[in-house]
């Protein structure tokens, strides 16, 4: 009888698979990305003090123009006093007697000498006093302020000033500072807390004002051309 040779098949791994197992993709470590914006910094004399990085969560957010417009409308409405007030014919003193009889005189009929058609009478459709107060939810006020600060940072209109807490109460110091750094009016100083020296130094300069970081709103931020921000006030915004 002829011998039958049995062949045993062994499993072989394809070359392509072996290559995939042997060559692994290298692990790439991502570098930490900066989360802020760099703005120039100056001291109280106007000399350069390097740059300061602003937090992106406050100064680097998308600008919501619709929300900003709504916030400005609320602030402007609340600023207006609406105190102008004119009297109607019912509020003017006198005029209770009919000037002449209704018929037979040849003149136009009249019921009161305080009619708007008469001199000394009431006013028709004149301004009236009204107490109008609009409100904005806290989250919307917060978002509007963030958008306003981000718009200022994007326009390169924020400058950091160091040493404002030790400034002398002299108008000349602030005037030279604004001149040396090239700031345009109206200018707003933002400080961490009330500073009597800075208040005395800015009160005699037209279109230069100051405010604390916790009292900022979208209207005051956008009403000025440049914001001179104290380095210590950055942490207290919002």
Q: What is the mean pLDDT of the chain?
A: 87
131, 152, 170: which is the final residue of a domain? 131
Check if the beta carbon of residue 116 is closer than 8 Å to that of residue 157: no
26-56 pLDDT, tens digit each = 544 333 334 458 999 999 999 999 999 999 9
72, 98, 131: which is the final residue of a domain? 131
How much is the pLDDT for 108? 95
How much is the pLDDT for 1? 43
96-133 pLDDT, tens digit each = 999 999 999 999 999 999 999 999 999 999 999 999 99
Alpha-carbon span 186 to 165, nearest angstrom: 21
Q: Which residue has the tokens 């209207």?
A: 219
Asked if residue 11 belongs to a domain, the reply is: no
Q: Are residues 154 and 91 in the same domain?
A: no
Asked if residue 98 belongs to a domain, the reply is: yes
Residue from 78, 211, 224, 210 nearest 148 by CA = 224
Q: Give the confidence band of 235 by pLDDT, cuts at 50, 70, 90.
A: confident
Q: Are residues 146 and 169 in the same domain?
A: yes
By mean pLDDT, which of 12-26, 34-48, 179-193, 211-225 is the weakest? 12-26
Instruction: Indicate the helix (H) or strand (E) that contains 37.
Output: strand 36-42
Q: Judge whether residue 17 has pLDDT over 90.
A: no
Structure token digits, residue 234 = 């950055």
Instruction: Dihedral sign for Cα 31, 36, 40, 41, please.
Output: negative
Number of DSSP helices (H) and strands (E) in the chain, helices first: 7, 6
Average pLDDT of the residues in 167-178: 95
Q: Judge whether residue 238 has pLDDT over 90.
A: no
More confident residue, 152 or 13: 152
How much is the pLDDT for 24? 57
Structure token digits, residue 193 = 């807390």
Average pLDDT of the residues in 70-92: 94
How much is the pLDDT for 34? 40
Burial profile 210-220: b = 16 or more Cβ within 10 angstroms, e = fewer: bbbbeebbbbb
Instruction: Dihedral sign for Cα 228, 232, 234, 236, please.
Output: negative
Q: Are residues 222 and 155 in the same domain?
A: yes
How much is the pLDDT for 179? 94
Q: Judge whether residue 75 has pLDDT over 70.
A: yes
Number of domains in the chain: 2
Residue 44: give its domain's CATH number: 3.40.1370.10
Residue from 119, 144, 118 nearest 65 by CA = 144
Q: Are residues 149 and 226 in the same domain?
A: yes
Angle between helices 138-154 and 65-79 (to 10 degrees): 110
How much is the pLDDT for 22? 53
Residue 211, strand partner residues: 190
How much is the pLDDT for 52? 94
Q: Judge whether residue 15 has pLDDT over 90.
A: no
Domain that holds residue 111: 82-131
Distances 5 to 1, 9, 11, 12 between C-alpha atoms, Å:
12, 13, 19, 21
Q: Please tell me whether residue 175 adopts helix, strand or coil conformation.
A: helix
Asked if residue 18 belongs to a domain, the reply is: no
As a whole-number percent, the residues of the chain with pLDDT over 70 amount to 84
Alpha-carbon span 197 to 89, nearest angstrom: 54
How much is the pLDDT for 27? 47
Q: Are residues 76 and 90 in the same domain?
A: no
Instruction: Dihedral sign for Cα 57, 60, 65, 69, please.
Output: positive
| pTM for the full predicted model | 0.74
Asked if residue 127 belongs to a domain, the reply is: yes
Asked if residue 200 belongs to a domain, the reply is: yes
């Amino acid at each position: 009888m002829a011998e039958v040779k049995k062949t045993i098949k062994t499993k072989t791994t394809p070359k392509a698979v072996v290559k995939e197992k042997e060559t692994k993709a290298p692990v790439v470590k991502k570098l930490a990305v900066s989360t802020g914006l760099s703005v120039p910094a100056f001291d109280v004399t106007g000399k350069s003090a390097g740059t300061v990085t602003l937090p992106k969560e406050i100064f680097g957010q998308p600008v919501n123009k619709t929300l900003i417009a709504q916030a400005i409308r609320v602030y402007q409405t609340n600023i207006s006093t609406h105190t102008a007030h004119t009297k109607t014919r019912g509020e003017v003193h006198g005029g209770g007697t009919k000037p002449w009889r209704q018929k037979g005189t040849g003149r136009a009929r009249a019921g009161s000498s305080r009619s708007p058609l008469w001199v000394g009478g009431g006013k028709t459709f004149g301004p009236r006093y009204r107490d109008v107060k609009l409100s904005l939810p806290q989250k919307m006020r917060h978002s509007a302020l963030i958008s306003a600060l981000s718009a200022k940072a994007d326009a390169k209109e924020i400058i950091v000033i160091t040493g404002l807490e030790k400034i002398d109460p002299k108008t000349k110091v602030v005037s030279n500072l604004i001149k040396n750094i090239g700031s345009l009016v109206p200018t707003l100083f933002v400080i961490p807390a009330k500073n009597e020296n800075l208040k005395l130094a800015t009160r005699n300069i037209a279109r230069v004002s100051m405010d604390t970081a916790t009292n900022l709103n979208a209207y005051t931020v956008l009403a000025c051309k440049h914001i001179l921000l104290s380095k210590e006030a950055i942490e207290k915004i919002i």
